[in-house]
A and B are shown apart, each in its own frame.
Chain A
Amino acid sequence: MGELFENIRRIKKSGSRAVGCFPLYPPVELVHSLGLVPLVLWDIKEAAPSLGESDRHLQAFACSVARRLAEFILSEDGARLDGILMYNACDTLRNMPEILQSGLSEKGRSLPLLRMHLPMVPADRADANDYLAARVNDLVRGLEEAFGVEFSPERFRESARLYNEARALARRLELLTAEGRVSYREFSRVIRNGHFCAVEDHARELSSAVERAEASPAVPNARRIIVTGILPPPDGLIDAIEGAGMRVAGNDVASQSRSYGHEAALTGDPAAFYCGAYRARRACTTLLYTADRRIDELCARAAERDARGVLFVGEKFCEYEYLELPYMRKILDEKKIAHMEIEIAAGDRDGAASLRTRVEAFAELLDH
């Protein structure tokens, strides 16, 4: 069952409560400040290896993120969650709260479900900030009522500080990965764990990982690439990437740098905090207001890290990602950055041989 299941058990044993958050970028600081542990439920193949429960509710053309999320929440392990929090991250996830409630109800279960609408327009547009501020304040009240807790500005500021600290450590670990001091597989494992545990625990794990990496020698002369997508490549594929002599010198992955890439200005006012934090985030295909800067940011990352190639890890059925792909290809071609696309679907086997062959061919392409 992996880290997620173990962590929930640990959280419950310590007397705390676990709130399952829909991906991609839920307001985790707020949940944490209320003495709850937010767990962001993505990249959970280990915790939701089969899709039997999900298949009763979602068609196979839903992406793997949605299907595994449904699978986990409706599974026996998901029964250990104390609540669910979601925002309008994408059309598929937006449709899911009542599906999950219906599925839970069939099992004689129910969970508090909290929702927030994140405006997808630029901040300078009419009422966007005021609207978001009001929704954040609604969410504060909703969480207080659902869990019988009380909001504190001081605790919120401290939670925000802890998350900023963890994000800074994640960015540091990414740089160490670029230097070859730690493998991308190990980096991905550590970052993945952070979605499934309390931020204090994750900060400790990140600190240790940074310390170990800093003690390791840098490895020069690798074929440097940037990985982009919603989720990182599966472990088997990362092995193939690194085995082919490529180094992931940076990433534009939603569950990785798009999650930890920003630093939010600290304040005890959650409404002001999130109005700033959501705008400060790295561009993502799902944050519609960041559309104009996404490819620029990707190219800037490639230039900054001296990467010669971009590997697009396509989440099958994610139209947000795929509608930007042709434009991304065009710009990368103009900048003479090599690129390759692979597609990952829910039923795929980790590190399939055909993908290995393509990865090896891509690595050779980078030498020319």
Chain B
Amino acid sequence: MAEVKQAEQKFRKTESGKRLTQLMTEEYTALHRRAGEGAFVVWIAIIVPAEIFSGFKNVVFAVPESHAALSAAKGVGMLQCEKAEAAGYSMDICSYARIDLGTALSGGKDSPTFGLPRPHLLVSNNNNCSLLAKWFDVYHREWGVPHFLIDVPFCYEGQKDRDRAYITAQYRDLIKTVEQLSGQTFDLDRVREALRTTREATRHYKRFIDCAAARPSGITAFDSFVQMAPLLTSRGRPGIDRHFAMLADETEERMRSGLFPVPGERYRLFWDSIAPWHQLRKMSARLAGLDANIVAASYTSCVGSHEGSYELLQSYDGGDPLEALARAQNFSVCPYGLNLRVNAMTRAARHYGIDGFVFASNRSCKVYSIMQMDCLRTVSRDLGIPVVMIDVDHADVRTYSEEGAFTRIEALLERIDAARQRAG
């Protein structure tokens, strides 16, 4: 316990952490304020390219998944899930969806952000998960709000030109829809500017998560989970690039000063799943007590990449911004297949010098989880690195057993030790 407490001391908020809290508070406050002042409100699925909405002067967007993650991290996930279940939604439905439904159906009660302002338009896509379309359909029916679905072909190989053209055409339809519903005029130059901001923010975010390549690592994956938030809620907005620049600068400075989250780091682990939002502090502290650090995660290393990679590839050279956004439409892990996932994970594991993999099987996220058993075997075989699978729902703490998970993680660490001994 003493070790855990010591580790917790090291998790005191950094300046970037404080700034993140301020940024997110301002973000949600501004969202409610602008909605109250008559802005056109769009709810989007997490990888709908939010930069498009920058093309309108008075359109704001909210990201229910991100709000659900925040709710889970703030400890109200279970409460909101229970409200949704009481309204008839099955416990087998994604916990993000249940949190969001619980929040919306209770008018934002118990939400850390007072919920989200009611939307004028719902925009989902079906490549991260089709569940989002069904989830948004609930509001579409209950509130009579239009629902625009972007159909994005899944990538078993790299994205094809024909698919990019198809996606881009749908963005143009989306723009027309927003113009018609909001009465506002779209300005493509504003999207260009937003895309430049995103590119810069992503570049600095990559610089930040790359601090994990050092030994000991300058960050934990838990830091990257938390700091990812503005890339989802504030994408393209002026100023977020500065936040990420300062985050990367500060992290590099801390490393130069000898400050590391797990100074005695002996085990460098890789996480495959969505963040365990209800366990961020507890899990990272307990791992640190074991001299273990989850230094990187497929959930965050994919940011700024293309399908099947982890390198920073999302760029913008001033061409058609819609096509550039379409090119990045499959960057997150769920919209691509097993071979691409293994490729991305293998490259990331080599880059970060990973000793072991933690596959977090997540009944709430079937798209992320179904593939993990084959992914686990392939990665283990190809890299000769020990792997473990644990059960963690990303936002519903009720199905999580800390002791069960750590028994397996500790066994993984023992296997890493055994492999080292064998290697001499």
B-binding residues in A (CB < 8 A)? 56-59, 61-62, 66, 88, 90-92, 94-99, 102-103, 115, 117, 119-121, 125-128, 131, 134, 285, 288-289, 291, 314, 316-317, 319-320, 322-327, 329
Contacts and interface: CB of A to CB of B under 8 A. Distances in A.
Contacts of B140: 291
B153 interface: yes
Contacts of B369: 59, 61
8 contacts: A92-B366, A96-B370, A102-B338, A120-B126, A120-B133, A322-B90, A323-B97, A323-B134
Nearest to A99: B374
A146 to B, nearest CB: 16
B156 A288 contact: no
* Interface size, B (range): 35 or more
A327 B137 CA distance: 10
Given A102-B374, A121-B149, A329 B366 contact: no
A315 to B, nearest CB: 10
Nearest to A55: B373
Contact of A95 (B135, B141, B361, B370): B370
Contact of A59 (B134, B137, B150, B373): B373
B170 interface: yes
Given A57-B373, A59-B373, A319 B149 contact: no
Interface of B: 87-90, 92-94, 97, 126, 129-131, 133-135, 137-138, 140-142, 149-151, 153-154, 156, 162, 165-166, 169-170, 172-173, 337-339, 361, 363, 366-367, 369-374, 378
A98 B126 contact: no
A90 B138 CA distance: 18
By Cβ-Cβ distance, the 3 closest A-B pairs, closest first, are A326-B88, A98-B338, A126-B169
Contact of A115 (B90, B137, B156): B156
Contact of A97 (B97, B337, B367): B337
A91 B127 CA distance: 9
Contacts of B339: 98
Contacts of B154: 88, 94, 117
B170 to A, nearest CB: 5
Give the secondary structure class of A's interface: helix
A326 B89 contact: yes
A120 B371 CA distance: 23
A305 B149 CA distance: 34
A319 B150 CA distance: 19
A127 B166 contact: yes
A66 B373 CA distance: 15
A95 B371 contact: yes
A326 B373 contact: no
A324 B129 CA distance: 16
Contacts of B165: 127
Contact of B363 (A59, A134, A291): A59
A134 B129 CA distance: 24
A131 B166 contact: yes
Given A97-B337, A319-B93, A322-B92, 17 more contacts: A58-B370, A59-B369, A88-B154, A95-B370, A98-B337, A99-B371, A99-B373, A102-B338, A117-B153, A120-B126, A120-B130, A134-B162, A288-B133, A291-B140, A319-B134, A322-B89, A323-B93
Given A127-B166, A323-B97, A323-B137, A61 B366 contact: yes
Contact of A323 (B131, B170, B337): B131
A323 B141 CA distance: 12
Given A92-B370, A120-B126, A324 B134 contact: yes
Contacts of B131: 91, 319-320, 323
Nearest to B363: A61
A291 B151 contact: no
Contact of B361 (A59, A92, A97, A126): A59
A66 B369 CA distance: 14
Given A98-B338, A115-B156, A90 B374 contact: no
Contacts of B134: 285, 288, 291, 319-320, 323-324
